[in-house]
Structure 1
Amino acid sequence: MKIMSREKYIDKLLQNLKIEWTTLGNANYIELADKKRKAVKSSNRIEGNIPYYGANNIQDYVDDYTHDGTYVLVAEDGTTSVERYSIQWATGKFWANNHVHVLRAIDGLDNRFLFHYLHIVNFVPFLTGGGRAKLTKAKLLEIPIPIPYPDDIEKSLALQRRIVDILDKFTELEAELEGRKRQYEYYRNKLLSIDVLSKGKLKTDKIRIMTLGELGTFTRGSGLQKKDFTPTGVGCIHYGQIYTHYGTWTDITKTCVSKEFARKLRKAKYGNLIIATTSENDEDVCKAVAWLGKEDIAISSDACFYAHTIDPKYVAYYFQTRQFQKQKRKFITGTKVRRVNTNDLAKIQIPIPPLSEQQRIVSILDKFDTLTTSISEGLPKEIELRRKQYEYYRDRLLSFKH
């Protein structure tokens, strides 16, 4: 559908539209399923294939579920942005912790229509609390929602589904990319689990379970700030760049510092793992990149580097697994700023097969990583365009007067 014809179609679709406003507390349209949700400490979760949802995304995979069906998840607290409030789409069996409200549309309201509409809601007036804003159940139920053609359910649902069809077309590409990433994560977790390692050609006694502290040492970075960057000089990695710029490994730094300044800083060597030890959310704490460049590089504070005896990519991939994330969560401290100290990092366990097996696993994961990265890097412009189109048409189709 071309843009001009789409505009005319939308004009016709919304012509003489009748809207009735109700709230998320209206049980005729909304089922609230919060009573089934349950928080489980990471140390008590049993690993499985069922997604465990938190305020912003899937935090883990477990062997049981709290809900089965298609639901919309709205952050109760801990959303990464109050302006772009966390709304998630969950289908099938899943576990919801107590940081998300679980609801779904019933009868005269389409669930996907509700999902898209909640993305344009201004949640700020309904939030309470300070740094960790909270959307209580009482406030959630006050949020207004529109019902098109309330006196004609068939006509209402037909319109809602046409709107959903238009909006979903702009999100298909991101959904496909997300599916590829989850498939890659699944295989990465499997390949690096002790169960799978021991079921292969290796005997269990050839796989050692060791702590990171037994295999190497952690060194904190120095007082390096963004203002210290120079066009040329000694390569450096600032902890913030680990979140935004680097993947599993790199042999080129994004930035440099002067040679004079670099003399004062602690430096990582070839094969070291560079770890961001601080973040505003649990998922990003301990995000890591293996340094495979020839020269030593400077590392900022709020990061550390790990000198070890493992294949560099093997340990970098392990830092991305559920097994690592589960152990890491036990050591996270802080409220607004979340962090893990190097003494606790040293306590985390890792399965260590022989070097040849480490390299075989890395070779497999490199292929997956290259495929996923090439898809991700080849599509950003297209995804950005579709996201802008989505936001435009979402606002165009769902900004009803109230």
Structure 2
Amino acid sequence: MDTQKLRQRILDLAIRGKLLPQDPNDEPASVLLDRIRAEKERLIAEGKLKRPKAKKSTDKSHYQNFTPPFDIPESWQWVRLGDYVINRDGERVPIASTIRSKQSNKIYDYYGAAGAIDKVDNYIFDERLLLIGEDGANLLSRTKDNAFFADGKYWVNNHAHVLDSSDKFLLEFVALYINTIPLDDYITGSAQPKLSQDNLNNIHLPIPPIEEQRRILTMIESLMSIICEIRESKQQLSQSIALTKSKILDLAMQGKLVPQDPADEPAAEMLRRVNPKAKIITDNPHSWNIPNTWTWCQLGDIFQHNTGKALNSSNRDGIEYEYITTSNVYWNRFELDDLKKMPFKKNELEKCTVRHGDLLVCEGGDVGRAAIWNLDRNIMIQNHLHRLRPIANEIHIPLYYHVFRHYKDKDLIGGKGIALQGFSSKSLHQLAIPLPPYNEQKRIVAKIEELYSVLDQIEASLQS
């Protein structure tokens, strides 16, 4: 379930009057708007509110050429934002940061385009008002709500519009609408986006009857609470899946994921057979134990390994081939868009060619990140990648992809020292790794893949 899409769908239905059924007993929105116009005329007559420029009265003439963007219920009304609310932008006062930094009694929020950005020692407003960002990247990125409420005592600078109403509740649906619709048509500038007061006032709102507004907002609050719980549950489940995968690797590296088979050739005997010069490590190099049929060994005793060719603009001899480097290698996958080429001499081809089944490990960048090259085409490697090939068929490559993943999770590679210096060929060669019997290697990988497949299906369902 995509909770973000669900949230947006609920809001879209709400502003169109499709979230809840209409009640024929509700007072129509037209009556509400008549009261608002009458109240504004009264405030203007008493000198408490200035009449907007180029308007003789708060009449309905503006709507004669207005084309609604979508249909609304008969009991609703379209209204120009400037006619629905009271704009108090004239009371805003910016305070330079140099002045704010010298204030000593900073206890009041100082609001800008996307919320409170500082504290100051005084306040302008002492009531709940609706603020709408006037400029800044958030107008387009929408990483935060562009309409938000301020309450209590606070100060507002000239980067947020200040909206009021004779009935504060009416501001709630305004905030809902502004945060639901795209504002692109009302914004000028792209490098420095701006929502001017004139453009803000000219936004048209669909206004429900006031009682329906209350029902809509109550329903949205309930639904958003449920969506929040779903999102948190999904995040917790996703974290649990990651922890479960890590635990599976823990068990695999300790020989506890699948049972041992006494008929299997012990790993130490197998190692002596495939590499008589191999060094069997008798002291436990890590914090966990392994079964008696396993052995510890150096990675370089069971894998041939080398890095690729250094990129050198002065070396232009050879035939150009596409190559990959650390930026192309991710955990068991490759990003192969926009591959580059460099020349390789004939005597460099064998060392630098990757073929199907090779294990690649990052020497730099995200040190230790690994992937198996399972593509049917060959490719070349740059010098910040290690290419690993087993010295014998008794070494099951997929297991050692999981070994690198486990070591990376446990910070056994890619620590501060290695990360700064790169994962050198010597460090790779001497890396102590567990070696199970060959048949057990295959059983371990099969079990990991079986369990991971179930977990991946669960995780995929969270995104659908």
Range into which the TM-score falls when normalised by the shorter chain? 0.3 to 0.5
Q: TM-score of the superposition, structure 2-length normalised?
A: 0.38
Larger radius of gyration: 2
Would you tell me which structure has more strand in proportion to its own residues?
1
Q: TM-score, normalised by structure 1?
A: 0.44
Larger relative contact order (Cα-Cα within 8 Å, sequence gap ≥ 6): 1
